[in-house]
Amino acid sequence: MESGSARREHFELLAELVWVPLRRYLVRRAPGAAEDLLSDVLLVLWRRLDDVPEGFELPWAYKVAQGCLANHQRGEQRHLRLVTRLRHEPPIVPPEHDEELADAMARLKPADQEVLRLWAWEGLEAKDIAVVLDLTPNAAAVRLSRAKGSLRDQLSKDRSAAGHKQGREGQVLGHE
């Protein structure tokens, strides 16, 4: 195992040797991704510097580049399959916009907004929200309850200011 400075020097010599040929190799095969792929290859060379066979540095680097290129091509194929699949999916229709609700939500703390969105839009229960937000299930339930109360208060203020008669607590957001 080499010291830090010796390792760095060894890598710099290797990079100088392989940089131009690998760049040409990658530009010919994946012009739009060649620079990113070259970075990936150099990262692998750095990580596996001790595995590079002496006297076969360039062929070994080509082998690494071939693997990085294959990974890139598999990723491109997955992307194309996903795009094709999504073309056949029905479009997601956004919910009807409720200006009063949007205004009330905007006045809440960002953390309260997120817990409410996870609950209302994504249909998650407190135990699932706990996983998303890295909380205990009890803390998530408390946060959700408080966020609902804050939203209820904001909606009540809006309705009072607009001349609406304030009703019972459960009428604004619904019962649990």
Residue 114 pLDDT > 80, yes or no?
A: yes
Per CATH, the number for 99-173 is 1.10.10.10
The one-letter amino acid at 118: L
**Does 4-87 match 99-173 in CATH topology?**
no
Q: Domain 4-87: state its class.
A: mainly alpha
Closest CA to 146 of 172, 120, 108: 108
134 secondary structure, DSSP code: T
Residue 50: DSSP 8-state:
G
- Residue-wise pLDDT for 65-97, tens only, equals 999 999 999 999 999 999 999 888 887 776 677
Using pLDDT thresholds of 50, 70 and 90, give the confidence band for residue 170.
Answer: very low
Give the helix ranges, DSSP H, for the chain: 4-29, 34-47, 57-87, 99-106, 110-120, 126-133, 137-161, 169-173
What ranges do the domains of the chain cover?
A: 4-87, 99-173
Query: Which tokens belong to 85?
Result: 């699949």
Segment 9-27 shows an average pLDDT of 97
Q: pLDDT: is 162 or 109 the higher one?
A: 109
Using the predicted structure, report yes or no on whether residue 176 has a pLDDT greater than 50.
Answer: no
The mean pLDDT value for 20-45 works out to 97
Cα separation, 146 vs 173, whole angstroms:
13
